[in-house]
């Protein structure tokens, strides 16, 4: 008989919006498993669209990014279901990885910092600064690069709640010595098995090259942020792009740690 499958639940937070996030999540798991050759069973839950929540019998949970405000949905059915699940799954000590919007919601729910609008939208291939050594960052530099696409941020950490939860801030956004603004929290280790990040480590180079060169995407970025911003983004998407290493290691590191535990 073959080995029992490793069951992975993916919580889809895109609410039907066109996105590359879900494709990239499936791709990073697939690429990781080309070497591992585990028997995987992957189930997607339409959490934001239908308030679908996975049960407790999965081995690994990944919650996606998504559009919109993490502040305006607190009374919606899906938001209540998701945040109740967060508390429950945290108590169960199951491996969980939260991406961008899912991470923002978790920070709001656990009251780990101030979730608020940025002065302007952040989009591009940007540096992330790690604060500690952790298995999540194996084979990455102390400063690595990742796709950011966000209008919101987490600042002003609630040190008391972070300490009481046993959590730890493990990465901050890029250094901006000429900007008199607090650096946003980019990653939190909620527990030994639950992580969340404010960027998109699932971003795959070939997908991003297509996306940022689409006429509609290019036009939107130029109209909102200028031609120079679009040019800087695509300049980071050649065969030497630093996101290749992030794609190859960060979520795979989480999956490796989840399997080992």
pLDDT tens by residue, 197-250? 999 999 999 999 999 999 999 999 999 999 999 999 999 999 899 999 999 999
Mean per-residue pLDDT over the chain, rounded: 95
Q: Of 3-7, 166-170, 178-182, where does mean pLDDT reach its minimum?
A: 178-182
User: pLDDT, tens digit, for every residue of 30-72?
Assistant: 999 999 999 999 999 999 999 999 999 999 999 999 999 999 9
Residue 75: DSSP 8-state: T
Q: How far apart are CA 195 and CA 190, in angstroms?
A: 6
pLDDT tier at 152, thresholds 50, 70, 90 = very high
Give start and end residues of each alpha helix (H) in the chain: 21-36, 47-50, 77-92, 101-110, 159-165, 205-213, 215-225, 227-235, 243-260
d(CA 250, CA 140) in angstroms, rounded, equals 8
Q: Check: pTM over 0.85? Answer yes or no.
A: yes
Q: Which 3 state secondary structure label does DSSP give 187?
A: strand
Tokens of 234: 């695509």
Name residue 6's beta-bridge partners: 40
CA neighbor of 117 nearest in space, from 169, 72, 175: 72
Q: List the chain domain ranges.
A: 6-118+153-203+246-260
pLDDT for 1: 39
pLDDT band at 2 (very low <50, low <70, confident <90, very high): low
Q: Calculate mean pLDDT across residues 158-178.
A: 92
pLDDT in the model for residue 250: 98
Which CATH class for the 6-118+153-203+246-260 domain? alpha beta
List the structure tokens of 44: 């997607």
Residue 151 CA to residue 12 CA, distance in Å, equals 19
pLDDT score recorded for residue 120: 86
Give pLDDT tens digits for 87-135: 999 999 999 999 999 999 999 999 999 999 998 889 999 999 999 999 9
Question: In this model, does residue 178 exceed pLDDT 90?
Answer: no
């Amino acid at each position: 008989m073959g080995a029992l499958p490793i069951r992975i639940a993916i919580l889809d937070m895109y609410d039907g919006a066109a996105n590359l996030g879900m494709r990239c999540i499936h791709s990073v798991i697939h690429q990781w498993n080309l070497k591992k050759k585990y028997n995987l069973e992957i189930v997607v839950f339409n959490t934001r669209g239908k308030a679908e929540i996975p049960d407790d019998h999965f081995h690994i949970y990944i919650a996606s990014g998504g559009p919109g405000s993490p502040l305006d949905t607190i009374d919606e059915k899906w938001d209540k279901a998701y945040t109740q699940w967060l508390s429950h799954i945290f108590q169960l000590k199951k491996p969980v990885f939260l991406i961008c919007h899912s991470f923002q919601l978790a920070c709001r729910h656990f009251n780990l910092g101030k979730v608020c609008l940025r002065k302007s939208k952040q989009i591009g291939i940007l540096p992330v600064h790690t604060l500690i050594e952790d298995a999540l960052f194996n084979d990455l530099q102390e400063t690595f690069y990742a796709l950011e696409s966000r209008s919101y941020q987490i600042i002003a950490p609630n040190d008391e709640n972070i300490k009481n939860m046993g959590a730890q801030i493990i990465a901050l956004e890029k250094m901006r010595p000429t900007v008199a603004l607090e650096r946003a929290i980019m990653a939190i280790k909620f527990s030994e098995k639950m992580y969340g990040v404010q960027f998109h480590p699932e971003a795959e180079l070939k997908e991003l090259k297509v996306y940022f060169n689409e006429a509609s995407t290019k036009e939107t970025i130029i109209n909102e942020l200028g031609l120079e911003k679009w040019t800087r983004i695509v300049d980071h998407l050649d065969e030497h792009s630093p996101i290749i290493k992030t794609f190859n290691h960060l979520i795979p590191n989480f999956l490796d740690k989840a399997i080992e535990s």
